[in-house]
Amino acid sequence: MTTDRTGRHIKAIVPGSFDPITKGHLDVIERATKVFDEVLVAVGRNSQKKSQMFDAQERVELVEGAVAHLPGVGVGIIDGLLVDYARAQGCEVIVKGLRFASDFDYELQMAHINTHVSGIETIFLPAGGPYATISSTMMREIAAYGGDVSEFVTPNVAQAIARKVAQAT
């Protein structure tokens, strides 16, 4: 586990919209738990995302189900600026997963501004494994057309997606 120079434990925050959480997200969260003593998965509202399948509370519940097997992981909702929420929760590091170069371009800008306004550093973890290139947007689109997303999400999430799709038809 990571401790700072004074021997304190370090708490990290893994933010995202998680609409829905995928096995790619879960991979990043699991890897963060190997580096940091505590990890807070922070469900946010992304103002740039036009359509969402699940509201914030539903996403929190889905994330809680997906990370239930991981000790030291909590889940919360970001209301406001990420860095304000991170500080209020005692988080010292932001962990972001990266899939593509375009993710890096955007996330680097965010990391710089977050550090500038708060002093909180960002750590990038490259996406790994067979779920490295999947996205929540892909899951919503595949499901909307009747496709099976169960390979890419946890069972609780697959069931919730199936219910949402059934309600929409």
Ranges of H-type helices in the chain:
23-35, 56-67, 82-88, 101-118, 136-144, 155-168
What are the catalytic residues? 25, 49, 99, 136
pTM of the full predicted structure?
Answer: 0.91
Residue 137 main-chain phi, psi, to 5 deg: -60, -45
Query: What does the pLDDT profile of the chain (169 residues) look like in tens digits?
Result: 555 566 778 999 999 999 999 999 999 999 999 999 999 999 997 656 567 899 999 999 999 999 999 999 999 999 899 999 999 999 999 999 998 888 899 999 999 999 999 999 999 999 888 888 999 999 999 999 999 999 999 999 999 999 999 998 7
Q: Rounded to whole angstroms, how far apart are CA atoms 73 and 141? A: 29
Asked whether the beta carbons of 3 and 9 are under 8 A apart, the reply is yes
